[in-house]
Amino acid sequence: MNTQYTKKVMKQFMHPKNVGKIENPDAVGKLENDNCGDVMYMYLKIKNNKIKNIKFQTLGCPAAIAASDVLCDLAKGKSLEEAEKINDQDITKKLGGLPVIKVHCSVLGARTLKNAIDNYRKKKRVA
């Protein structure tokens, strides 16, 4: 086991609760980090402006997967406006910290969620 990660990071990495894909999502966010190669997808089900369900698929290191899972926990049940305010510090704090060289994983998570919300709003404007 890698001791540079907190127990919370390893637990989220080894047993993510929110991994998967939502069929017929209301929104999808996808981003990748060109520096490390991580790729993150976020799938949202939205009802009455609230995130009713959120899932992720992440190709990346333990920190990226743990950050994705924790982000889902933080966003579920929140309004879109509340979810947009979730940032990398919120994710890192919920994980009990990340090694400095892995903080970019929490940044990618926050940006991917915002990307999904932006895509949802664009889709709603077009409809």
Task: For residues 6 and 69, give the distance between their C-alpha atoms in angstroms, rounded to a whole number.
Answer: 15
- Tens-digit pLDDT profile for residues 15-25: 999 999 999 99
Is there a domain that residue 21 lies in? yes
36 is catalytic: yes
In the chain, how many domains are there? 1
SS3 breakdown of the chain: % helix, strand, coil, rounded to 5?
Answer: 50, 20, 30
Structure tokens at 121: 């709003």
- Tens-digit pLDDT profile for residues 63-103: 999 999 999 999 999 999 999 999 999 999 999 999 888 88
Largest CA distance in the chain: 49
Q: Which of 66, 98, 105, 116 is catalytic?
A: 105
72 is catalytic: no
Q: Domain of residue 63: give its range.
A: 7-122
Structure tokens at 72: 């889902």
Q: What is the pTM of this model?
A: 0.91
Q: Are residues 18 and 55 in contact, defined by beta-carbon separation less than 8 angstroms? A: yes
Is there a domain that residue 104 lies in? yes
Is there a domain that residue 127 lies in? no
Q: Which of 36, 39, 61, 107 is catalytic?
A: 36
